[in-house]
Amino acid sequence: MEIIVDLCNQHHGSLSELKRMSLQASMAGADVVKVQLMDSEKHFGTTDKKYRDVTRCQFFELADFCNDHSIELMATPFDSERLGWITDTGIKRMKIASRTVKEDKSLCDEILNLNMPTIVSTGACGFNEFPFGFSENIKYLFCVSKYPTYLDDPLLKMMPAKFSESGYSGYSDHAIGIAPSIKACLNGSRILEKHYTQSLLSQSSREKGHLGSFDYESLKELTSLVKQFEIMGVV
66 contacts 24 by C-beta, under 8 angstroms: no
* DSSP H helical ranges for 91-215: 98-103, 105-112, 179-186
pLDDT at 47: 83
What are the two backbone dihedrals, phi and then psi, of residue 91, each rounded to the nearest 5 degrees?
-60, 140
pLDDT at 209: 78
Beta bridge partners of 141: 121, 170
pLDDT at 205: 58
Domains of the chain: 2-232 (3.20.20.70)
The amino acid occupying position 63 is A
Taking each helix axis from N to C end, the angle separating 105-112 and 80-89, rounded to the nearest 10 degrees, works out to: 20
Instruction: Please tell me whether residue 74 adopts helix, strand or coil conformation.
Output: strand
Query: What is the Cα–Cα distance from 12 to 217, expressed in whole angstroms?
Result: 21
Q: What is the pLDDT of residues 205-232, one digit of tens each?
A: 577 778 999 999 999 999 999 999 999 9
Quote the distance between the C-alpha of residue 231 and its chain's center: 26
pLDDT at 50: 86
Residue 149: CB atoms within 10 Å:
21
Query: What is the Cα–Cα distance from 184 to 169, expressed in whole angstroms?
Result: 10
The DSSP call for residue 126 is: P
Residue 118: CB atoms within 10 Å:
20
pLDDT at 200: 81
pLDDT at 201: 75
pLDDT at 204: 56
pTM, two decimals, is 0.96
pLDDT at 134: 97
- For the chain, residues with pLDDT lower than 50 are none
